[in-house]
Amino acid sequence: MSEVLIKNLKKVYDGGVTAVHDVNLHIADKEFIVLVGPSGCGKSTTLRMVAGLEEISGGELYIDGKLCNDVEPKDRDIAMVFQSYALYPHMTVYDNMAFALKLKKVPKDEIDKKVREVAEILDITQYLERKPKALSGGQRQRVAIGRAMVRDPKVFLMDEPLSNLDAKLRNQMRAEIIKLRQRINTTFMYVTHDQTEAMTLGDRIVIMKDGFVNQIGTPEEVFDKPVNLFVAGFIGMPVMNFFDGCKLLKEGDTYYAQIRNAKFKLDDFQQKALKQNGQQPCDIVAGIRPQHISVGSGELEATIEVNEMLGSEVNLHARSDKDEVVMVIPTVDLKTDVSMGAEVKFTTQPKLIQLFDKATGNNLVWYDKQSADACAPVCKAYNE
Amino acid sequence: MAKNKNASSAAVLPKGATLGGSRWKRLRQSCPWLVMLFPAVLVVFLFNYLPIYGVLIAFQDFMPGDQIIGPYTHWVGFDNFIRFFNDVQFWPLMKNTFLLCIIGFVIGFPLPIIIALALNALKGKRTAKVLQTIFTAPHFISLVVLVGMLTLFFGRYGLVNNIIAGIGGERVSYFLESSAFRPMYILSSNWQDFGWSAIIYIAALSNVDPGLHEAAILDGASRFQRVLHVDLPAIMPMVSVMLIMSIGGLMGVGYEKALLMQTDGNLGVSELIATYVYKQGLTGVPDQAYATAIGLFNSIINVVLLIIANTTSKKFSENSLF
């Protein structure tokens, strides 16, 4: 068992700057959780508080059921992989990996066995006698991971471990981490600002902004059911299209979304959620993912400004009134002229429209009471 | 500047390859930088290289007013050097200079490193800055004032003797005691310079990746172990360079302080090569050729030490001066 429980975790720096506001998170045993968000959102600070590298200003941190607020980092039974690798430059790869065990006074033969075993897993045996400067970025990162692995930690912390690698190597290492995770099967806390890493690696994703947790969910949940405008805009590539000046209408017991002059009758699950919330007609921001748009027919119109042919699909950048609309259309479905300057009609399925309250930015369908409580400060921050 | 094996090997170009076109083009591109360098080169040439010409008098029977090179120059070969080797003062001078320098080096070289590591490890950065200022301040005291302070503290009627007399002890004339010269000289020199010398190490320590410390904390390293395994290795290239430079200047102790502290009582240990050169060359009936020969001999020892230190460092570490 190696679960992590974070209760109302808070970080206030000298001078009163609050970097992390009341974070609540339960990370189950062997779960891979990813903290994602833009720079300065507090994800690294949260991780560093778990590591013990930052003092906890408020709240409680439990690792494996033990309150760890004042426990020394070395006694927390955690290991961390840093963005800068943080390998000791004067030591060989072997010594880097063995350092923590040497300090623990583990017998030499045991250290040797462990280091070679981990080196074998990470395919770095041939580099054991080299110094870090003689390694490539990817190899250094493997060593950094190996250094963490030899300790058999309860929790693996990773602070943007792939950020220093080029795109190709990053993809490769991402796959390596997925394989590694299956192999060592322990609890992971992973920080990144890259949503692709978050979506591909995490069992669950914690999306943070300005020190607040905005949403916690599986990759599918945060993609399909974003609780507010920030999450909707942050997750997904290309970014979700937002249509301002839309309305939520109610005719009898039936809800409609009005985007421009088009009126969409909402799907059953949307009707149900809105009814449950007692939602009244209001101004909304409608969100539609670029992949959820179909062109050729429909109630909405746009002028194509840029046409990006990517082979299997085409990215269309169009203008619809004031709004810029991005559409991702599979090439096989393309039966209309989408050359630059062409006028196209487009539409989407009502069930794929995200409805955000214009006043609060919250999703009218997916923003439930529980997340409302957790995210109350978020909405305040959003509105500010 | 220090040379790093790997850095230099990385910068090696394939045979025949040039950096950006013809030599003339490169020279033209470098023109502004060469113009900026010119004053420095001129100063070094005028004040460091041109005077080397004067070294020739070490091989002459030179009297003030003689031409260094002219029809009446009297060349004597190595006579002045042989005269020095046969001088009754030769071995005492060598011993005094060597002992003073080596003891000073053994105490004085590690001290700034220890101070820099300690200041860097201090949690309170404000305290560290205040301490650093306090440690650096004595460097700006002139030698005359420093020796004056030593007199005030250790003179027969100075502070230390007043305390000794106050508790019923005998007053001691430290400046007349041979045994007190070296401790007073070395400790006062170190007191004056350790803070200043530590600056270069403090600067090197400020470049240490904080991530290394954090990694070491998570690895379970104590504060002392972090100093040992993170800070010290990080400043080792700088330590190597400073070590080579210190060894290269080991016998190059100046005459001023020794002369200021010199008395008849401590002359047996305070007479150094530098003070002897001063006395031979500038006091009494000056024998400048002889003084130059002694000075040149001292410089040659320094050059040999520098080459040995540099070669050794090159062999055992990745750092060297040349």
CA distances from A325 to A122, A286, A292, A301, B280 (A): 44, 12, 12, 10, 92
Residue A375 has pLDDT above 70, yes or no: no
Residue A352 has pLDDT above 50, yes or no: yes
Identify the bridge partners of residue A243 per DSSP, sorted by sequence position.
Answer: A286
Nearest to B211 among A74, A84, A99 (CB): A84
The pLDDT score that the predictor gives to residue A1 is 67
pLDDT band at A333 (very low <50, low <70, confident <90, very high): confident
Residue B88 has pLDDT above 90, yes or no: yes
In the stretch 203-262 of chain B, residues with CB closer than 8 A to chain A read 209, 211-212, 214-221, 225, 229-230, 233-234, 236
Cβ of A74 within 8 Å of Cβ of B217? The answer is yes
The gap from C-alpha A119 to its chain's centroid, in whole angstroms, comes to 30
Nearest residue of chain A to residue B219 (CA atoms): A100
What's residue A379's pLDDT? 38
> Does any CB of chain A come closer than 8 Å to the CB of residue B99?
no
pLDDT at A320: 87
- Work out the average pLDDT over A236-265: 92
Q: In the predicted model, is pLDDT for residue A219 greater than 80?
A: yes
Share the mean pLDDT of chain A: 90
Could B219 and A103 be called an inter-chain contact, meaning their C-beta atoms sit closer than 8 Å?
Answer: yes
pLDDT confidence of residue B59? 95
Closest-CA residue of B relative to A133 is: B6
User: What was the pLDDT predicted at A321?
Assistant: 83
> Cβ separation of B212 and A86 shorter than 8 Å?
yes
Percent share of chain B, pLDDT over 90: 75
Q: Give the pLDDT confidence of A157-174 residue by residue, as tens digits.
A: 999 999 888 888 888 889
| Identity of the residue in A82, A88, A103 whose CB atom sits nearest the CB atom of B220 | A103
Chain B nearest C-alpha distance from A320 (Å): 49
State the Cα–Cα distance between residues A233 and A242, nearest whole angstrom.
Answer: 9
Can you give the pLDDT at residue B21? 63
- Phi/psi class of residue A74: alpha, beta or left (left: φ > 0; alpha: ψ in -120 to 50)? alpha
- With an 8 Å Cβ cutoff, are B221 and A84 in contact? no
Mind telling me how many Å the CA of A152 is from chain B's nearest CA?
12
- Give buried/exposed letters for A169-207 (b at 16+ CB in 10 A, else e): bbeebbebbeebbeebebbbbbbbbbbebbbebbebbbb
Instruction: Output the DSSP codes for B240-269.
Output: HHHHHHHHHTTT---SHHHHHH--TTTHHH
Cβ–Cβ contact B32 with A under 8 A: no
**pLDDT exceeds 70 at position A291:** yes
Chain A residue with minimal CA distance to B10? A134
- Residue B281, token pair as written in the block: 């060359």
The minimum CA-CA distance between A242 and chain B, rounded to whole Å, is 41
CB contact under 8 A, A133 and B6: yes
Q: Is the pLDDT of residue B20 over 60?
A: no
As given in the structure block, the two tokens for residue A132 are: 């870090």
- For the cut 90, the answer to whether the pLDDT of residue B92 exceeds it is yes
Q: Which of A74, A131, A157, A159 to mutate to test the interface with B (most CBs of B within 10 A)?
A: A74
Confidence check: pLDDT of B4 > 50: no
Q: Of A116 and A382, which is predicted with more confidence?
A: A116
Residue B263, burial from CB neighbour count under 10 angstroms (0-12, 13-18, 19+)? middle
Q: Whole-model pTM above 0.90?
A: no
B8 at interface of A, judged by CB pairs closer than 8 A: no
- At A208 the pLDDT is 94
Question: Residue B7: pLDDT band by 50, 70, 90 thresholds?
Answer: very low
Per-residue pLDDT at A250:
93
pLDDT at site A370: 55
Q: Is there a contact between B6 and A104 if contact means CB atoms under 8 Å apart?
A: no
Q: A147 CA to chain B: closest CA distance, Å?
A: 9
Task: Using DSSP, state whether A24 is helix, strand or coil.
Answer: strand
Within 8 A of B221 by CB-CB distance, chain A residues are: 74, 99, 103
pLDDT higher than 50, residue B10: no
The 10s digit of each residue's pLDDT in A62-80 is 999 999 999 999 999 999 9
Percent of chain A topping pLDDT 90: 71
Task: Name the band, by pLDDT with cuts 50, 70 and 90, for residue B250.
Answer: confident
Please give the structure tokens belonging to residue B54: 């004067």
First to last CA, chain B: 8
How many CB contacts within 8 angstroms connect chain A with chain B?
A: 57
According to the model, what pLDDT value does residue B9 have?
43
| Residue A377 pLDDT greater than 50, yes or no | no
- B121-151 residue pLDDT tens: 998 889 999 999 999 999 999 999 999 999 9
Residues contacting residue B268 through CB under 8 Å, at least 6 positions apart: B92, B178
A-chain CB neighbours of B217 within 8 Å are: 52-53, 73-74
Task: Test A84 with B230 for CB contact under 8 angstroms.
Answer: no
Q: Which residue of B has its CA nearest to A98?
A: B219
Q: Does A189 touch chain B (CB under 8 A)?
A: no
pLDDT for B124 equals 84
Residues on chain B touching A103 (C-beta within 8 angstroms): 219-221, 225
Q: What is the ipTM of this complex?
A: 0.84
Express each pLDDT in B261-290 by its tens digit: 999 999 999 999 999 999 999 988 889 999
For residue A147, which residues of chain B lie inside 8 Å, CB to CB? 215, 219
What percent of chain B shows pLDDT beyond 70?
93
Q: Which residue of B has its CA nearest to A147?
A: B219
For helices B79-86 and B288-316, what crossing angle results, to 10°? 80
- A82–B214: do the CB atoms touch at under 8 Å? yes
Query: In terms of DSSP bridges, do strands A155-159 and A212-217 run parallel, antiparallel, or are they unpaired?
Result: unpaired
Contact B217 A53 (CB under 8 A): yes
pLDDT for A1-51, tens place per residue?
689 999 999 999 988 899 999 999 999 999 999 999 999 999 999 999 999
- Within 10 angstroms of residue A70's Cβ, the number of other Cβ atoms is 9
Query: Are the CB atoms for A132 and A164 separated by under 8 Å?
Result: no
Our measurement of the distance from residue B16's CA atom to the centroid of its chain's CA atoms, rounded to an integer in Å, reads 41
At A382, the pLDDT band (50, 70, 90 cuts) reads: very low
Which pLDDT score, from 0 to 100, does residue A323 have?
Answer: 85
The pLDDT assigned to A376 comes to 42
pLDDT tens digits for B302-322? 999 999 999 988 888 777 888
Q: Which residues from chain A sit within 8 angstroms of residue B229, using beta carbons?
A: 88, 99
For the record, the structure tokens of B116 come out as 């820099």
